């Protein structure tokens, strides 16, 4: 385990199993509609790449990068788009793949955005859900793991852009983020 982590919260084996199940559920639901599977950068990158490899249906892949500034307790905040998808989602089923839902700001805004653009449906898949932190009225349609309000890194998640490449989800030592 990385020295900056206090413990492994979710092992590689658990991740593999739950991600496979998520892909099975989505694959059954959208077997015939060639959904647009949108990964939200950067946090979802590892989850996304594992997830799509278990999907045995035709899919269109695309990516979006947004900033969560304005999230948290600032309910009037707006989502800032850093990179948009290239696919026209009008009439398409959209599957959003996101690493974590916290306040819900990002996903509430993204769902509204895709519906506004004419998507036929929007289905949200999350790896991690911090239920206790929700401030917006939005829930994932499929979530892999419920977690407490702990500082988690790895499997795509970062602290100051570090630790994204850890193959497990770990809890960051308090001293690491409190010294900054």
Instruction: Lay out the site mask for ligand PRP across 17-36 (x = CB under 6 A, - = otherwise).
Output: --------------------
Strand 36-41 versus strand 60-67 pairing type: parallel
Determine, following the binding rule CB under 6 A, whether residue 129 of this chain makes contact with ligand PRP: no
Instruction: Give 2 or 120: the residue with its C-beta nearer to ligand PRP.
Output: 2
Determine, following the binding rule CB under 6 A, whether residue 144 of this chain makes contact with ligand PRP: no
Query: For residue 121, what are the β-bridge partners?
Result: 93
Contact 6, 171 (CB under 8 A): yes
Determine, following the binding rule CB under 6 A, whether residue 166 of this chain makes contact with ligand PRP: no
CA distance 158 to 44: 11
* Structure tokens belonging to residue 63: 């990516």
Determine, following the binding rule CB under 6 A, whether residue 131 of this chain makes contact with ligand PRP: no
Determine, following the binding rule CB under 6 A, whether residue 97 of this chain makes contact with ligand PRP: no
Of the ranges 14-22, 23-31, 41-49, 139-147, which one interacts with ligand PRP (CB under 6 A)?
Answer: 41-49
In DSSP notation, 115-167 reads HHTT-SEEEEEEEEE-GGG--SS---SEEEEE--S--EEBTTB-BTTBSTT-S
Determine, following the binding rule CB under 6 A, whether residue 102 of this chain makes contact with ligand PRP: yes
- Out of 5, 35, 93, 104, point to the residue binding ligand PRP (CB under 6 A): 104
Active site residue 102: yes
Instruction: Give 53 or 80: the residue with its C-beta nearer to ligand PRP.
Output: 80
CA distance 79 to 108: 10
Element (H, E) at 175: helix 174-178
Footprint of ligand PRP on this chain (CB under 6 A)? Answer: 40-43, 68, 71, 98-106, 158
Residues marked as catalytic: 102
């Amino acid at each position: 385990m990385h020295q900056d982590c206090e413990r492994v919260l979710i092992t590689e084996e658990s991740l593999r199993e739950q991600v496979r199940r998520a892909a099975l559920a989505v694959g059954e639901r959208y077997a015939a509609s060639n959904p647009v599977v949108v990964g939200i950068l950067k946090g979802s990158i590892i989850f996304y790449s594992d997830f799509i490899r278990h999907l045995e249906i035709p899919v269109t892949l695309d990516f979006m990068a947004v900033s969560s500034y304005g999230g948290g307790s600032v309910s009037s905040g707006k989502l800032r788009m850093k990179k948009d998808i290239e696919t026209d989602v009008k009439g398409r089923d959209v599957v959003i793949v996101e690493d974590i839902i916290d306040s819900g700001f990002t996903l509430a805004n993204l769902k509204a955005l895709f519906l506004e653009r004419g998507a036929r449906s929007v289905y949200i898949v999350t790896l991690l859900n911090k239920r206790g932190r929700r401030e917006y009225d939005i829930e994932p349609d499929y979530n892999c793991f419920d977690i407490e309000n702990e500082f988690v890194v790895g499997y795509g998640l970062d602290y100051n852009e570090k630790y994204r490449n850890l193959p497990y989800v770990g809890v960051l030592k308090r001293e690491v983020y409190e010294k900054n």
